[in-house]
Structure 1
């Protein structure tokens, strides 16, 4: 298995960053009138990823992890702050966004067209992902007939399809068995060695040695752990 070794330098990536967020703020309106209130979820988050860096983002439920991830990929606008992206992003949301009547193969074809891949490049990447994640036997299966674990594999595979420079994963191994969990870290290790960056959201981190840095969202801010 390709290991993801820890770095000895905890200095923020700065100008080398392939993804950088500065001063991100986000407030939500909760409840109904007259009990309506405003809740500040993100209160000036700063975050940066260097090439080839694997970073974990942890925090309690409701701390704003998924909100921050959506801001980073552009799926949600921030109230304040800036996000700078360099290169292609791959995004694996916590809840898979799939079409129930399409097969796994058809999803890869659809996403390949969206990414602007040639048919040959898409088919090659698809074969490699099926093999790496071990679900090629479900290639012709509709997604409404997949188990939760296999659906998670497809979700991850679609994020990896275009070989993005930055991979953003929200609870990516939920539903994985142990063998798939190890396969996942092999893929992460290969990406790190290729100079690709990975940001992983998780409620908790058990294998801290696999990460270069771990950042905690606490009181609306990102702090090193």
Structure 2
């Protein structure tokens, strides 16, 4: 099944279920373009994905699905970001409590990655402010690793910034990598020679080093196979159970029931 055939079938099922398909099809098309993988591998059958997506959207709101279990760890208040004459974020609020997972969704260009970069302190907002309680771990959508360092050297480098010894950081990194089905053959390979999926696993491991209280994850499963993808969500729930505040930017709208709350950045006119 070609990408165009898959998108056409996806749109037809959305229409049949009385959901305007334009924004959702555009988002799916963008994700497929970015991933470079066949649609059946990324989303599965178009009809089944449309069904799960509609069910998730009808149950997804910006309200918490269960009472938060702890204090606010992240509070982004009235965030505004402009690029030239374009306003990317216009008064966005995001609060994440200890023991809570929030999914951030939205069409391409709606500001998902921009919001996470602002929350991580990598980008300054034009207005609004961010407050973080505790330490922070950040997993970018791409980049984030040093081409000529091995995974162990990454663990030691990031661990040093967390105040960990070389041995402790190395052991913690290796243990975390093992939970993501890390290929043993990659342990001594520099980052530039890792596959895209393995490199993203490294980013995810680095985000969790040193036991941060807040984790910001920008589509962290790019290039993961299905088993690693499920391992990723097990890790997210483990972090939640440990009282951490977790934010996951995602294109996979069918997974919204895995989070406790949802923030949709898609402009209302496009929904």
Q: Decide which structure has greater helix share.
A: 2
CA contact (8 A) 2:88 2:111 kept: yes
TM-score, length-scaled by structure 2: 0.71
Name the structure with the higher strand share.
1
Structure 1 stretch displaced more, 38-47 or 132-141: 132-141
Counterpart of 2:78 in structure 1 is 23
Aligned runs of 1:110-121 on 2, under 5 Å?
Answer: 110-121=157-168
Give 1:12 deviation, angstroms: 8.7
In structure 2, the partner of 1:42 is 89
**Contact 2:104-2:250 at 8 Å conserved across structures:** yes
1:99 aligns with 2:172: no
Does residue 171 in structure 1 map to residue 219 in structure 2? yes
CA-based RMSD: 2.2
3-state SS of paired residue (1:174): coil
Q: 2:204 aligns with which of 156, 165, 170?
A: 156
Q: CA deviation at 1:136?
A: 5.2
- Bigger drift between 112-121 and 198-207 goes to 112-121
* Unpaired stretches in structure 1, ≥5 consecutive residues: 1-5, 30-37
List structure 1 segments (4+ residues) > 6 angstroms apart after TM superposition: none
Query: Which position in structure 2 is the counterpart of 1:140?
Result: 188
Q: Which residue of 1 aligns with 2:128?
A: 81
* Native 8 Å contact 1:61 1:203 kept in 2: no
- Residue 204 (structure 1) shift: 3.1
Structure 1 97/218 Cα, relative in aligned 2: closer, same or farther at 3 Å? same
TM-score normalised by length of structure 1: 0.85
Which of 1 and 2 has greater Rg? Answer: 2
Q: Which has the higher contact order (CA 8 A, sep 6+)?
A: 1
Looking at structure 2, the residues matched to 144 and 170 of structure 1 have their Cα atoms a distance apart, in angstroms, of 20
